[in-house]
Amino acid sequence: MLNYFKNRMVEESQRVNCFWNLHLNVFSLEGRILENGTRKNLVLAHGNNIILVSVKFAVRESGRQKVLREQKKNVHAFVKGNFMGIAGFNERLILGAGMREAYYNPYKQDSFTDKETGKKLEGAEIVILADKKIYYK
């Protein structure tokens, strides 16, 4: 389910930045929109079971350093991709389809990594963001 924020909309194929919202315990979608005559990156919606394609994984190192220094999390890591919609979620089906789990922990690494192999990830063809987890292929 996707809950639009402040009546903003997210369009299919729109480029978005997704991050785990620590306050709402859900993924947030941020996109570039025109508001009051100015283009801005703003939160468009919150949701789960989000499908993105043509994905890049991004970590702002300055934000990560602030986490390490203050021992307090902040928004500095994003899954960036084209929004394709939301889907039903079944972890066995996702993993059975050849998708792998990725994760990011600012205290342990400086990039998104494959949960099983520890390999750094730069991008993926498709990502599903579901239940605080990141699945990619």
**pLDDT tens digits along 23-56:** 999 999 999 988 888 999 999 999 999 999 999 9
- Residue 98: its pLDDT value, please? 86
Higher pLDDT, 47 or 88: 47
- E strand residue ranges, the chain: 2-4, 15-21, 26-35, 38-47, 50-59, 77-86, 100-103, 113-114, 123-130, 133-136
Q: Model's pTM, two decimal places?
A: 0.91
Collect all residues with Cβ–Cβ distance below 8 Å to 71 and sequence separation of at least 6. none
Q: How confident is the model at residue 92 (pLDDT cuts 50, 70, 90)?
A: confident
- E strand residue ranges, 2-37: 2-4, 15-21, 26-35
Is residue 1 within 8 Å of residue 86, measured between CB atoms? yes
